[in-house]
Structure 1
């Protein structure tokens, strides 16, 4: 979609990598009571994630007016509240994709949001949330017709975009767009030069295979990806397809991409298919990494991997069972606002 004064790419903006410095993190307080098994327990887990992040950087929590008193009592005084109408609580997907340029200016992309292909109603308030955040942060807004969620893309801040075939080209999101048109829009909106397409996971029932459950950039030229695990697993072939799609790939700068593999929390499989078992679905904050704790043996193994990957960051583990039951993880419920 052409903006009147040029696209972000044409005007020198890019989406920065998650490891670049943040002004704050945005979150959304759980609101869709019929969705969560126990919304009170989910809110306690959200509060725990917010406080873990707050140890490293400011946090602003978007809260419905009717939930403000409870949120304040659970979050305390160190988490800022933004009182606004929302439908639910996935800030990565409903929030904007923030941009920066080389002169210290900031902007943001307002993609369309349709609740992952119309899976939940209503979603009009969440569709308006990105515009609200960009207005609150007083940055330039670029509007896109593309239905896209932040969890469906990972960027290295240097022109490379990672996404999946099973998500944005899905007929439930962008039936009138070709894959080439989607690729061009992502490049224009995020300031990218190369899009790497993974197969994704068409069997994943909540997001249709968001990339932030599968693979993510953790440094220039380095991608963290779930390994294929047990060959007898029903997910083995899907995992292998994503790994093979990245093998031999180069980034926008021409660097050979290095793959680092980590397991899923496979011992959590008994909880159900919707339960998010992904350690990839962690979040980089200023000086830290916020990762899930599932109470299984792989927690310690992955923490050690993260400590080796990010020697200058503190790794903080948070129990998120009452979030993961909704199909998402720590990355799904956060959205970084970059520093100017």
Structure 2
């Protein structure tokens, strides 16, 4: 396993819209975690995960990591075209515990294994902290290890030199005490090939109760370089309203790696879907996932789904927008993007949105 300083120049992380070889997911199996912590039945959450996996499998291969104890449940709900890979795991958030895949013009595909500490030690992670390495080893790909406590949901890249993250996550003492922005930016430059890091406030006062402390994939998402879909709320009384306003303001003031001001497209969250009894509920439509030729959109069975789908279709006119209802998953604080991780196709193709 390489370390940050051993990285060769030329490695970069492609944008999510580059063609994929596959999507990686992890099957939920931890009954105590879902039912005691989040108050939803494991069986219902598994249905939501299967819906997402089966939707993606219409467009590209899906590789589902499954704890050996849960293979029968996964096989019963996942289509026959979904590959099940038995690996012991704690939890089911592949965006965060899985590898961040990177590419090199001469050396091909590899991956980064961040130091995964379960969002600042919020749950058991003795198995998940090694998941990225095990996935990469299974694929026979080089693994670049990093001492940076980071999660895939904490970063967005545009494939054109720009990375967006949030201060409330990476500067949180529960992740990287003693490290500053410059330290982290150097790591992103070396491992992900970016040359501009934009820092949003995220959720600095932790008003939402989000377990991640304010991942960027609940704040915004690239439509293409220079264009962002931004999470917004139509409820000015919401505790999240000020958080959303401050993140949007930071984006209004920012420029990307090419010196462009961002075009910002508001994507209003699913306020009507929020269960007030839930400890946390992911109502962000920006937590969508791009797979080959399609966009898998979180849906909640409410009228706002249609408006979100229309906004996303306008932003991605060449993709099929596929709404997938995820209310039980949202009860656990996550969305479609949180449970998926793209493996780019190599040689790299489809670098445009």
What TM bracket, shorter-length normalisation? over 0.9
- Cα deviation for residue 217 of structure 1 reads 1.3
- Alpha carbons of structure 1 residues 254 and 33: separation in structure 2 relative to 1, 3 Å: same
- Cα deviation for residue 2 of structure 1 reads 7.8
Q: Which runs of 5+ in 1 are unaligned?
A: none
Alignment map for 1:170-319 (pairs within 5 Å): 170-201=172-203, 202-205=206-209, 206-271=211-276, 272-319=278-325
Confirm or deny: 8 A CA contact 1:162 1:198 kept in the other structure: yes
Confirm or deny: 8 A CA contact 1:159 1:191 kept in the other structure: yes
The answer for the alignment partner of 2:163 in structure 1 is 161
- Cα deviation for residue 32 of structure 1 reads 1.6
| 1:110-146 residue CA offsets vs partner (Å, 9 max, x unmatched) | 101111111112x111100000111122211111000
- In the alignment of these two chains, the number of paired residues is 337
| 1:158-214 residue CA offsets vs partner (Å, 9 max, x unmatched) | 110000010011001111212221222122221110100000013233100000001
- Cα deviation for residue 227 of structure 1 reads 2.2
Report the aligned-residue RMSD: 1.6
The answer for the alignment partner of 2:144 in structure 1 is 142
For the pair 1:338 / 2:348, whether they are aligned, the reply is: no
Output the TM-score relative to the length of structure 1: 0.96
- Cα deviation for residue 228 of structure 1 reads 4.5
- Alpha carbons of structure 1 residues 265 and 232: separation in structure 2 relative to 1, 3 Å: same
Report the Cα distance in structure 2 between the residues aligned to 1:4 and 1:328, rounded to whole angstroms.
29
- Alpha carbons of structure 1 residues 297 and 145: separation in structure 2 relative to 1, 3 Å: same
- Greater than 6 Å deviation, 4+ residue runs: none
Corresponding residue SS for 2:275: helix
Confirm or deny: 8 A CA contact 2:252 2:261 kept in the other structure: no
Which of 52, 57, 67 is the matching residue for 2:70? 67
Report the Cα distance in structure 2 between the residues aligned to 1:288 and 1:332, rounded to whole angstroms.
17
Output the TM-score relative to the length of structure 2: 0.92
Alignment map for 1:51-130 (pairs within 5 Å): 51-103=54-106, 105-121=108-124, 123-130=125-132
| 1:267-326 residue CA offsets vs partner (Å, 9 max, x unmatched) | 123343511101000000000000011112210001001111111110101110111110
For the pair 1:6 / 2:6, whether they are aligned, the reply is: yes
- Alpha carbons of structure 1 residues 144 and 42: separation in structure 2 relative to 1, 3 Å: same
Confirm or deny: 8 A CA contact 2:155 2:216 kept in the other structure: yes
Corresponding residue SS for 2:328: helix
For the pair 1:30 / 2:28, whether they are aligned, the reply is: yes
Report the Cα distance in structure 1 between the residues aligned to 2:216 and 2:70, rounded to whole angstroms.
31
Report the Cα distance in structure 2 between the residues aligned to 1:276 and 1:235, rounded to whole angstroms.
12
Confirm or deny: 8 A CA contact 2:228 2:262 kept in the other structure: yes
Confirm or deny: 8 A CA contact 1:293 1:319 kept in the other structure: yes
Q: Which runs of 5+ in 2 are unaligned?
A: 35-39, 347-353
- Cα deviation for residue 104 of structure 1 reads 6.7
Confirm or deny: 8 A CA contact 2:2 2:144 kept in the other structure: no
- Cα deviation for residue 226 of structure 1 reads 1.1
